[in-house]
Amino acid sequence: MITKRRENSDREPMQKAPAERRPAMPIRMPDKTLITVQKRYLRSDYRMPQMEMAQTHFGIGFLISGDRRIITPQNRFDAHAGDVTVMPPHLYHRTFSLSSEPYVSYLIKVSDRLAADFCREIDYGIWQRIFDQKLLTFSSEDSSRIGAHFEDMFRIYEEKASYRDILLRGMLYRLILL
């Protein structure tokens, strides 16, 4: 989270850059969409070109292969195959490779509206604790189970059935509560 500096009486107040000049994620979540699920295949040397942030969604990623360093203004951490990364909106971050393994991952984008629904229906504290961590590491057995859950979510998302959003909402809730 970027904090505002204290204003000195002899200085102008800090101004926010217009939205079109702030680095945002290059692939925005479509308007009125509650959830998207992607499977990304990127070269092992892929790196985000600059610090970027999601403005309209929370991100939950599962690393299938590769090793990534993720940096934010306050932290740096390394993610490996089987790890889950979580990014709230408005958190600047950048990732780059730590290995020659291809970068393959699932990425779930969750709208602010769906996040608010979870917090109201289930528990705000659970949501907050997960997104405060940024990196979640599991045993091999749990990583396999979580990876299969991401895979199922991706398969259902790709099917484009009329009931898809209802299934994905339930599967997201289950993923968070696992």
Instruction: Tell me the three state secondary structure of residue 170.
Output: helix
Q: Are 131 and 72 in contact (CB under 8 A)?
A: no
CB 47 within 8 A of CB 97: yes
Which amino acid is located at 104 in the chain? V
Determine the longest span between alpha carbons in the chain, in angstroms. Answer: 60
Answer yes or no: is pLDDT of 10 > 50: no
Query: C-alpha distances in angstroms, 43 versus 50, 65, 145, 174?
Result: 17, 11, 25, 31
If pLDDT is split at 50, 70 and 90, which confidence band does 5 have? very low
Structural domain spans, the chain: 32-177
Stronger pLDDT, 13 or 21, i.e. the higher one: 21
pLDDT at 17 over 60: no
Instruction: Indicate the average pLDDT of the chain.
Output: 85
32-177, CATH topology level: Jelly Rolls (2.60.120)
**Residue 128, φ and ψ in degrees, nearest 5:** -65, -45
**Region of poorest pLDDT, from 48-57, 59-68, 123-132, 156-165:** 48-57
